[in-house]
Amino acid sequence: MDELIMLPGPTAIPPEGLEAQSRQMIGHREEAFSKLLVRVTENLKKVFFTENDLLIFPASGTGGLEIAIVNSFSPGDKVLSVTNGVFGQRFREIAKAYGVNVIELDFPWGEPCDYDKIENFLGKYQDIKAVLFTHNETSTGVQNDLQRMGEIIKEHDALLIVDAVSSLGGLPLYTDKWGVDMVITSSQKALMTPPGLALVAVSPQAWRQIEQSTLPKFYWDLLKAKKYYEESRQTPYTPAVSLLYALDQALKLILKEGIENVFKRHRVLTRALRRGMEKLGIKPFVPWEIASYTVSSFYQPEGIDFKDFKDHLVKKYKLHFAGGQGRLKDKIFRIGHMGYVNQEMILKTVESIGSTLEDFNFKADKVSALAETEKIISEELSRNEL
Amino acid sequence: MDELIMLPGPTAIPPEGLEAQSRQMIGHREEAFSKLLVRVTENLKKVFFTENDLLIFPASGTGGLEIAIVNSFSPGDKVLSVTNGVFGQRFREIAKAYGVNVIELDFPWGEPCDYDKIENFLGKYQDIKAVLFTHNETSTGVQNDLQRMGEIIKEHDALLIVDAVSSLGGLPLYTDKWGVDMVITSSQKALMTPPGLALVAVSPQAWRQIEQSTLPKFYWDLLKAKKYYEESRQTPYTPAVSLLYALDQALKLILKEGIENVFKRHRVLTRALRRGMEKLGIKPFVPWEIASYTVSSFYQPEGIDFKDFKDHLVKKYKLHFAGGQGRLKDKIFRIGHMGYVNQEMILKTVESIGSTLEDFNFKADKVSALAETEKIISEELSRNEL
């Protein structure tokens, strides 16, 4: 690979996925397509750790969040929106745009949610229909505690609807075991497929609420998508065939590696990257305890104009990563490491950033940063436990 | 190409488009993406014959129709829905799903619209906000008279909103000259790109109405998409990068051939296919005067079970085409010939259908059918007029 794609999405596509997209079209009302759709759906269920229904729409992740909102609610329905970053806010904005009665519970960006407080809110508002929750806050690199959230929701008659766009396939997410009613993700993150597919898993309890929903919908209609899948193994409208080719390949790679091994690889590479960066004098924005394993956030280096730093890395070292978003725009930067990511890419990232610091006449102990990074990876990845 | 893809969509992708999709991802907030987006947008405007704004969403064509509805109207707005097939009906259903007050004007499937009647309706209901019109009815192979519709609408203070999913890039469609306010199409038809992109052109008059719209929207928000494009040459949410790679290549091919030559190729191949089929004893479903140049419909051959006929063509001759839809399911079949289609593919289609008739022990004058098909193509395509 010529360019080093360490974006928080779209992420790098493995050669198998790129090649799959050079296959010619097939008809979406033909048997060959149904076989593809069933295989992708069944393999996705394995990666989602679910036996719930799983439906696929041509759309980006934000479209997937909209699917959850317009199918689950009626105007005036009360939902609790928990946020600690840009994407939690976006999920909430979609609900508000559709006239859902949103109760807002905000935690500081870069900090964990206060789960006792969430529990209190749920106790206070007995008529809450659902909690909107962000598993991995891409904007801050914080991994929220979805398992804990699942335990809390079990005591309440509300759905747990989760934005898993930058978590699913990278962070442990056990849909059924943790009691998540709707899991929404998209193709272009840890699933290492180009953008354009929204994926939604729906529990039986969620279906019961969906059947009551009166918000207007047509393209996003989950019940119609379910009916088509059940009756004919097809989609109501033309599916994104080439993206399904790529996703099919990506899922095969994930299942071949073993999903638990994939989780471990993400966790170990994250630790190694963070330690290497620390050795270079670049400070992580959030502590390890709440750190995402798919996107790492760091404080922008002091004394260097961030735009110059970023442009230099892109132009000289072909390293592609992201700045901060929203109120963190001038404070942090973010390195994506999900899906098609390996030791070599992490080392090259640390090396490129070290070299850039040197190019800007800052001291950076590149040698020990790389040694530390490599040591963590080789020690921890070779260990026989997950 | 091994299989012969003569579907009414998704259509065959040219080698350049397939290859383009094997390119690695780029960041959608990076300069390289903006360049791609601008080039695709500007080239699309040429193919749309428009100087209006043109916006691209990850979605299928039905999503594109929904974009037009949720952005243009408020609940209770009166619109005139003109239909003569499945897709006109679908466009109407979307409007109804969103509480738009739909006035229905239906013409028989396979027959032209009665434009005097449309004009009468527009005269009768002075408060109509828009006409929903289907340029090419994929379900019947009828080309509706969009130019005439444009002339009618000029006398009225209503928008002309057009489903051009299976027409744009195949049939003449001069957006600005004909006064079409919104043109909606998708990637997987005459634009010879895999499915997953919805494209919408919006006139200044349409923008004025869009600014008044109160229907709920978030993902489909056209004003937000326009703002992002104007301010940063980006999209609000992650774009379908690999599909844009393919569309970029397809547009280059179209512009290289010359869009008027593309129209001519579609028209001539349609005439040749129809004549060849007639020679085989297969009757066109609609007369030449209203025939689509992108999809041709024929009566199912008498005396053969249609499922057997279709399965035989797929299995033995690798010819992929479509049956009828809705009330025409047991009556017609449809051959798509838009986008990446040429003389060889049309000849092979006629030959395969002729051979299949023979395989089923029917008389079919394959030799003269092929001669007639070839004659029309070589005579008419070589002629120096458009």
DSSP for A213-231 reads: --S--STT-HHHHHHHHHH
Using a CB-CB distance cutoff of 8 angstroms, which residues of chain A are in contact with residue B195? 28, 58, 238-242
What are the C-alpha distances in Å from A224 to residues A236, B35, B324?
A: 7, 38, 21
φ and ψ at residue A6, rounded to 5 degrees: -115, 45
Nearest to B65 by CA among B132, B9, B11: B132
Q: Give A 10-29 residues with CB within 8 A of chain B.
A: 10-13, 18-19, 21-29
Probe site for chain A from B16, B21, B23 (most A CB atoms < 10 A): B21
Q: Looking at residue B213, what is its pLDDT? A: 98
On whether any CB of chain B is under 8 Å from the CB of A63, the answer is yes
Give the span between the Cα atoms of A14 and B174, in whole angstroms: 41
Print burial letters for B330-367: b (CB count within 10 Å at least 16), e (below 16). Answer: eebbbbbbbbbbebebbbbbbbbbbbbbeeeeeebebe
Confidence tier at A383 by pLDDT (50, 70, 90):
confident
Cβ of B30 within 8 Å of Cβ of A320? The answer is: yes
Give me the pLDDT at residue A1, please: 54
* Four-residue CA torsion sign, A51, A53, A59, A61: negative
Q: Answer whether A276 touches B (CB < 8 Å).
A: no
Report how far apart, in Å, the C-alpha atoms of B337 and of each of A270, B20, B322, B342, B345 are. Answer: 51, 22, 12, 8, 9
Cβ distance of A26 and B94 shorter than 8 Å = no
Supply the ipTM of this predicted assembly.
Answer: 0.97
CA atoms of A75 and A236, how far apart (whole Å): 26
pLDDT in tens, B329-363: 999 999 999 999 999 999 999 999 999 999 999 99
Q: What is the pLDDT along chain B (386 residues), one digit of tens a residue?
A: 589 999 999 999 999 999 999 999 999 999 999 999 999 999 999 999 999 999 999 999 999 999 999 999 999 999 999 999 999 999 999 999 999 999 999 999 999 999 999 999 999 998 999 999 999 999 999 999 999 999 999 999 999 999 999 999 999 999 999 999 999 999 999 999 999 999 999 999 999 999 999 999 999 999 999 999 999 999 999 999 999 999 999 999 999 999 999 999 999 999 999 999 999 999 999 999 999 999 999 999 999 999 999 999 999 999 999 999 999 999 999 999 999 999 999 999 999 999 999 999 999 999 999 999 999 999 998 887 77
In angstroms, rounded to a whole number, what is the distance separating the alpha carbons of residues A196 and B57? Answer: 9
Report the gap between the CA of B7 and the closest CA in chain A (Å): 7
- Residue B284 DSSP label: B
Name the DSSP class of A188.
T
Amino acid A173: pLDDT: 98
Q: What is the pLDDT of residues A278-311, one digit of tens each?
A: 999 999 999 999 999 999 999 999 999 999 999 9
CA A171 to chain centroid, in Å, comes to 8
The verdict on B184 touching A (C-beta cutoff 8 Å) is no
Query: What confidence score (pLDDT) does residue B386 get?
Result: 76
State the angle between helix axes of A61-72 and A222-232 in degrees (0 to 180), rounded to the nearest 10.
100
- pLDDT given at position A245: 98
DSSP notation for A48-66:
HT--SEEEEEES-HHHHHH
| Average predicted confidence (pLDDT) for chain B | 97
Instruction: Note whether B24 contacts A2, CB cutoff 8 Å.
Output: yes
Q: DSSP letter string over B99-132?
A: T-EEEEEE--TTS---HHHHHHHHHH-TT--EEE
Average pLDDT of chain A, as a whole number: 97
Give the residue from A187, A322, A198, A137 showing the smallest Cα distance to B29: A322
- Reported as a pLDDT band with limits 50, 70 and 90, residue A184 is very high
pLDDT value, residue B385: 77
Q: Say how far apart CA A305 and CA A3 lie, in whole Å.
A: 23
The partner residues of A200 in beta bridges, in order of sequence, read: A55, A184
**Are A22 and B26 an interchain contact pair (Cβ–Cβ within 8 Å)?**
no
- Rounded CA-CA distance B334/B336 in Å is 6
Nearest by CB: B243 against A98, A196, A238? A196
Round to whole Å and give the CA distance between B109 and A196: 34
Which chain A residues in 365-384 lie under 8 Å from chain B, judged by CB atoms? none
Contact assessment for residue B73 and residue B79, using Cβ atoms and an 8 Å cutoff: yes
Residues in contact with B385: Cβ distance below 8 Å, sequence separation at least 6, in sequence order: none
Q: What is the pLDDT of residues A103-162, one digit of tens each?
A: 999 999 999 999 999 999 999 998 999 999 999 999 999 999 999 999 999 999 999 999
DSSP-based three-state secondary structure for A184: strand
What percentage of chain B exceeds 70 in pLDDT?
Answer: 100
Measured between CB atoms, does B336 come within 8 Å of chain A? no
Which helix (H) or strand (E) segment holds residue B275: the answer is: helix B259-279
pLDDT, tens digit (0-9, with 9 covering 90-100), for B89-110: 999 999 999 999 999 999 999 9
Query: According to the model, what pLDDT value does residue A126 have?
Result: 86
Q: Are A264 and A386 in contact (CB under 8 A)?
A: yes
Residue A382 confidence (pLDDT): 83
The per-residue pLDDT for A310 is 97
Contact A258, A107 (CB under 8 A): no
Q: Residue A201 above 80 pLDDT?
A: yes
Q: Which residues of B touch A61 (CB under 8 A)?
A: 237-238
B-chain residue closest to A11, CA distance: B25
Domain annotation for chain A: domains and CATH numbers: 15-256 (3.40.640.10), 258-382 (3.90.1150.10)
Q: How far apart are CA A122 and CA A344, in angstroms?
A: 45
The phi and psi torsions of B163 (rounded to 5 degrees) equal: -75, 105
Range A216-238 average pLDDT = 98
Contact flag A218-B93 (C-beta cutoff 8 Å): yes
pLDDT at A188 over 80: yes
Residue A233: closest CA among A77, A46, A374, A31: A31
Q: How many residues does chain B have?
A: 386
- Considering Cα of B296, then B301, then B307, then B313, what sign does the dihedral take? negative
Please give the pLDDT value at position B384: 76
Chain A residues with beta carbon closer than 8 angstroms to that of B27: 5, 7, 10, 320, 322
Give percent of chain A with pLDDT exceeding 90: 98
